């Protein structure tokens, strides 16, 4: 066993999923968003556990991610949220991935491939309503209806949009987006195009707008055990499935006034014990996304946090922990070694240290241990190469 590892409890993810499902409006279903390797938790493992728990719909960003799930036996619906590149289209169709159509070029591309393969292309139409990213604008809708009616291979199974400010709980803006979405849907339906799955909610909108659950909700953040932001009522019993651990590889008694680390940013104030852990920023420790402050107080908070970190003090929730006790960082985080000021915390060499590693920036080199029903869970590829899964292919 290596000195640093990450334990991921799939049962906790399943339980978070069930919490979400228990709050669904009747008629709606939960699509598990497992993009970016399930937010760093492991897309295959998470999807397999959720499929076992009854989840039949998944979403990823790229075709590659979708094919990867297929390879490991995820047979449910897989929606590709991002744009599709030409070289991926054929595999995507053969593997029966559902593709997002967000502009006319893509519509044409998919129609062309559908015709070449003589296969229906299952698609979700994306409407752009205020995110400023991808999707058809309201002025595109007339042309879109014509294109959809004339197409022989594009089969719209869904239509959706994505909220820009749901986590900020901006009611006015969310409503504008929702109204634009509904207008778009109405326009398409008025011209005889019926689309079975309408969906708008991410985690934040799911919590705040039960009346917008529609046919399905697309949930990522809640599954990994987080609320999407401050201010949400903590009504779901969510738990964190993820813990990153390393071991103390050295402990040393030092006198007061000892400098620690590069640039000597830390100097012990008393005689104390310093512990060394074999992890650093190359593992993802202290690698934070650049935060854009939301207002003046947030700016102060971020400045304070960064200044404190410079002196080896971690503010905020995420701290190192040994035997249930918080310990402070001493000095700058190194490439692969980091020093802790152990103070009076009872511990010895070899003890486990819980480290604050962000899921999405934890180095993939670090060993992941998956747990399912109290046992280590491992996966294997079930498909060598790809057999076509499209229902119209006989295989
Ligand atoms: C990532 C994403 C989601 C999931 O968002 P969460 O807030 O993590 O639940 C839903 N829909 C789209 C289009 C996304 O890109």
Is the confidence at residue 381, as pLDDT, over 90?
no
* pLDDT score of 230: 86
178 catalytic residue (yes or no): no
Is the confidence at residue 124, as pLDDT, over 50?
yes
Identify the band that residue 341 occupies on the pLDDT scale cut at 50, 70 and 90.
very high
Name the one residue in this structure whose structure tokens are 């326009």.
187
- Read off the pLDDT of residues 304-325 as tens digits, 9 standing for 90 and up: 877 776 666 666 545 789 999 9
CA 43 to CA 78: how far, in whole Å? 12
Q: From the CB of 28, is ligand 1 less than 6 Å away?
A: no
Task: Kindly report which listed range (95-104, 145-154, 185-194, 299-308) carries the lowest average pLDDT score.
Answer: 299-308
Q: At what angle do helices 141-150 and 171-190 cross, to 10 degrees?
A: 40
Higher pLDDT, 364 or 30: 30
Task: Tally Cβ neighbours within 10 Å of residue 369.
Answer: 14
- Read off the pLDDT of residues 79-119 as tens digits, 9 standing for 90 and up: 999 999 999 999 999 999 999 999 999 999 999 999 999 99
Is the confidence at residue 5, as pLDDT, over 80?
yes
Identify the band that residue 392 occupies on the pLDDT scale cut at 50, 70 and 90.
confident
Cβ atoms of 273 and 259 within 8 Å: the answer is no
Q: From the CB of 220, is ligand 1 less than 6 Å away?
A: yes
Cβ atoms of 237 and 23 within 8 Å: the answer is no
Whole-angstrom CA distances from 358 to 228, 283, 284, 352 are: 15, 10, 7, 18
* pLDDT score of 317: 47
* pLDDT score of 315: 62
Testing ligand 1's pocket by substitution, the residue of 17, 59, 161 carrying the most ligand atoms inside 8 A of its CB is 59
CA 273 to CA 146: how far, in whole Å? 73
Q: From the CB of 218, is ligand 1 less than 6 Å away?
A: yes
Ligand 1 centroid from CA 53, angstroms: 21
- Read off the pLDDT of residues 215-242 as tens digits, 9 standing for 90 and up: 999 999 999 999 998 899 999 999 999 9
CA 158 to CA 193: how far, in whole Å? 11
Cβ atoms of 242 and 236 within 8 Å: the answer is no
CA 339 to CA 334: how far, in whole Å? 9
- Read off the pLDDT of residues 162-172 as tens digits, 9 standing for 90 and up: 999 999 999 99
Q: From the CB of 205, is ligand 1 less than 6 Å away?
A: no
Look at residues 332, 137, 52, 85 and name the one whose alpha carbon lies nearest to residue 66: 85
* pLDDT score of 316: 56
* Lookup: tokens for 250: 């050295």
Q: 17, 35, 160, 245: which one is catalytic? A: 35
Task: Report which protein residue has its CA nearest ligand 1's atom 5.
Answer: 202
* Lookup: tokens for 33: 């968003």
CA 311 to CA 320: how far, in whole Å? 16
Provide CB contacts within 8 A for 375, sequence distance 6+: none
CA 31 to CA 223: how far, in whole Å? 11
Q: From the CB of 127, is ligand 1 less than 6 Å away?
A: no
Ligand 1 centroid from CA 354, angstroms: 28
Q: What is the mean pLDDT of residues 369-384?
A: 83
Testing ligand 1's pocket by substitution, the residue of 83, 218, 232 carrying the most ligand atoms inside 8 A of its CB is 218
**DSSP symbol at 295:** S
Is the confidence at residue 292, as pLDDT, over 90?
no
CB burial readout 229-264, b (16+ within 10 A) else e: eeebeeebebeebbebbbbbeebeebeeebebbeee
3-class DSSP state for residue 237?
coil
**DSSP symbol at 39:** H
pTM score of the predicted model = 0.89
Look at residues 230, 254, 199 and name the one whose alpha carbon lies nearest to residue 24: 199
Q: From the CB of 62, is ligand 1 less than 6 Å away?
A: no
Provide CB contacts within 8 A for 32, sequence distance 6+: 17, 46, 47, 50, 55, 57, 58, 59, 219, 220, 223
262 catalytic residue (yes or no): yes
Ligand 1 centroid from CA 219, angstroms: 6
Q: 171, 237, 262, 269: which one is catalytic? A: 262
Name the one residue in this structure whose structure tokens are 């998919």.
110
How many percent of the chain have pLDDT more than 70?
Answer: 93
Output the average pLDDT for the chain: 92
Higher pLDDT, 359 or 59: 59
């Amino acid at each position: 066993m290596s000195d640093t590892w990450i334990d991921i409890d799939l049962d906790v993810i399943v339980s978070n999923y069930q919490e979400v499902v228990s709050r669904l409006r009747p008629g709606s279903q939960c699509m598990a968003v497992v993009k970016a390797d399930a937010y760093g938790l492991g897309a295959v493992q998470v999807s397999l556990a959720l499929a076992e728990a009854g989840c039949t719909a998944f979403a990823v960003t790229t075709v590659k991610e979708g094919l990867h799930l297929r390879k490991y036996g995820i047979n449910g619906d897989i929606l590709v949220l991002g744009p599709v590149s030409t070289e991926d289209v054929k595999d995507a169709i053969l593997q029966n991935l559902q593709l997002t159509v967000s502009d006319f070029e893509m519509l044409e591309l998919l129609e062309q491939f559908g015709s070449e393969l003589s296969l229906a292309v299952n698609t979700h139409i994306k409407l752009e309503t205020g995110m400023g990213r991808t999707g058809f604008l309201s002025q595109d809708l007339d042309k879109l209806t014509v294109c959809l009616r004339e197409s022989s291979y594009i089969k719209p199974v869904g239509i959706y949009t994505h909220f820009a400010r749901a986590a900020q709980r901006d009611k006015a803006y969310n409503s504008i987006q929702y109204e634009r979405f509904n207008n778009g849907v109405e326009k398409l339906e008025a011209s005889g195009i019926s689309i079975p799955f309408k969906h708008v909610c991410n985690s934040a909108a799911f919590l705040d707008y039960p009346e917008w659950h529609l046919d399905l909700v697309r949930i990522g953040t809640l599954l990994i055990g987080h609320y999407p932001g401050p201010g949400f009522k903590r009504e779901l019993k969510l738990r964190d499935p993820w813990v990153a651990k390393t071991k103390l590889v050295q402990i040393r008694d030092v006198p007061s006034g000892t400098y620690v680390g590069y640039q000597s940013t830390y100097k012990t104030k008393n005689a104390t014990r310093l512990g060394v852990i074999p992890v650093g920023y190359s593992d993802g420790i202290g690698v934070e996304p650049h935060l854009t402050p939301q207002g003046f107080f947030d700016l102060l908070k971020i400045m304070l946090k960064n200044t404190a970190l410079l002196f080896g003090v971690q503010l905020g929730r995420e701290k190192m922990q040994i035997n249930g006790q918080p310990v402070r960082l001493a000095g700058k985080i190194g490439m692969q070694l980091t020093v802790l000021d152990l103070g009076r915390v009872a511990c010895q060499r070899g003890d486990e240290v819980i480290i604050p590693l962000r899921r999405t920036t934890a180095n993939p080199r670090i060993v992941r241990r998956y747990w399912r029903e109290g046992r280590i869970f491992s996966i294997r590829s079930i498909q060598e190469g790809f057999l076509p899964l499209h229902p119209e292919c006989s295989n």
